[in-house]
Structure 1
Amino acid sequence: MVSKKEHMMKVLLVILLNIYVVSSSDPDPVYDFCIPRTDFSSNSNIPFCKNSSLVTVEDFIYSGIRNPGDFKKTGFAATPVSSTVFPGLNTLGMSFVRADFDAGGVNVPHYHPRATETAVVLEGKIYSGFVDTQNRVFAKVLEKGDVMVFPRGLLHFQMNVGDSPATIFGSFDSQNPGLMKIPVAVFGSEIKDELLLKAFGFNSKELAKLRKRFGSS
């Protein structure tokens, strides 16, 4: 028979574990910085971080988002920046993205499973919002200088509602925020057609059209 003391200890343990899970994010860095070694491999015994004496200011500067992405073909282009292309971000628990929209361009509904995002409008007018777990929509047209936050894991979206190209700069509180685009995840995956037909009420021809559109995204 479990004693009252043992029961309380189990309850406390569950509470502590829940607090840990809720508060966990990317691990805190243990060094000032950690610029990855280019000769590092998972099977190597050499240190992962470059010797600090070999680190230069260039490791902490990135110029890859000076210019807009190629949004003319689809109306939208995203240029993500992580430690993969910007070594100075490594272990710092952050990453960012530049998003460029043609007039009418759309960033389809998506979410980031591991990060909260803040997005600032650099140019243009963007209809921007997110949906919470009660299906409430929080959306508004943002203009240059406006900032919006998208809570971690919640579905969000943007659309250029102006007459000229628009640009957003988004930042994440994770080195690897993850990205799930809803149309691609649903229609570009290997979910059985039978399930999708029943779930959405499509006919086979309509589903095939969506499969073709999002299968290669």
Structure 2
Amino acid sequence: MSSKLLVLLLIFSLNLRGCLVLASDPDPLQDFCIPNPLFGSIKTAHLSILPCKNSDEATTNDFVFSGLKSAGNFTDTGLATIPVNPTVFPGLNTLGMSFVRADLKVDGINPPHFHPRATEIAYVVQGRIYAGFVDSGNRVFARVIEQGEVMVFPRGLVHFLMNVGKTPATIFGSLNSQNPGNQKIPSAVFGSGINEELLQKAFGLSLKQIGTMKRRFNPKT
């Protein structure tokens, strides 16, 4: 049974007073769509559309990306990431995927975060990484993965990385959306402007402690 037929059957089985919402990257309607730099992007309420240039103008270079040969700039958590999406790699546009190179210094971490629109598969290029995710029942699935191993992080679930080896580590992550989003938990909680009284009650922290956390995750405050 085709996926389209399954969707139709599901729709007809719903109570007419209900509603059904489906969300994913749309299927491509052509072989490829190389963004036309002359038009930039079209902003809508939910996404940016990258208009295609004439397919006759596409070149091999549009489908090759050379920006992952070395690590990016490291943060104070010992993490360096290079996200790759259609804005830097035109050949990815409309193909429903993106990827990232993540490097971690010894003891470096990628703090808990999630991608609202994508599942991620992480491949360890080198090093030993403590990696895992938390499901909606607050169960942790985590272990140390080493060079050559792969771990999957389901869409929308909080996940994390920590270098537990004695040498720097490198991971390549592949995501099944060209715009997966990246919501970092510490920044979302303490760097977004949530009412301090609510944070006090939620975490049992003093106003001074909350102020410290806000300065750390939102330097503008």
Q: Distance in 2 between matches of 1:26 and 1:39?
A: 24
Contact 2:113 2:159 in 1 (8 A): yes
Q: Distance in 2 between matches of 1:155 and 1:215?
A: 20
Q: Distance in 1 between matches of 2:15 and 2:34?
A: 37
Q: Tell me which structure has the larger Cα radius of gyration.
A: 1
* TM-score w.r.t. length of structure 2: 0.86
Partner of 1:30: 29
1:130 and 2:133 aligned = yes
1:161 and 2:164 aligned = yes
Partner of 1:120: 123
Partner of 1:12: 13
Note the C-alpha offset of 1:10: 8.5
Note the C-alpha offset of 1:105: 0.3
Q: Which amino acid is the alignment partner of residue 30 of structure 1?
A: L
Contact 2:25 2:177 in 1 (8 A): yes
Contact 1:125 1:166 in 2 (8 A): yes
Partner of 2:84: 81
Partner of 2:72: 69
Contact 2:98 2:179 in 1 (8 A): yes
Q: Distance in 2 between matches of 1:14 and 1:133?
A: 27
Q: Distance in 1 between matches of 2:69 and 2:25?
A: 28
Q: Distance in 1 between matches of 2:19 and 2:197?
A: 40
Superposed CA offset, 1:75-132 (max 9, x none):
1111100001000000000000000000000000000000000000001000000000
Contact 2:77 2:110 in 1 (8 A): no
Q: Distance in 1 between matches of 2:165 and 2:76?
A: 18
- Stretch moving more, 73-82 or 160-169: 73-82
Partner of 2:174: 171
Note the C-alpha offset of 1:52: 1.1
1:147 and 2:150 aligned = yes
Aligned partner of residue 30 in structure 1, secondary structure:
coil
Q: Distance in 2 between matches of 1:114 and 1:38?
A: 26
Superposed CA offset, 1:108-157 (max 9, x none):
00000000000000010000000001111000000000000000000100
- C-alpha root-mean-square deviation of aligned residues, in Å? 2.2
Q: Which amino acid is the alignment partner of residue 13 of structure 2?
A: L
The 1:14/1:93 distance shift into structure 2, 3 A limit, reads: farther
Aligned partner of residue 153 in structure 1, secondary structure:
coil
Aligned partner of residue 216 in structure 2, secondary structure:
helix
Note the C-alpha offset of 1:13: 4.0
Note the C-alpha offset of 1:163: 1.0
Aligned partner of residue 142 in structure 2, secondary structure:
strand
Q: Which amino acid is the alignment partner of residue 103 of structure 2?
A: D
Runs of at least 5 residues in structure 2 that lack an aligned partner in the other structure: 1-9, 44-49
Partner of 1:211: 214
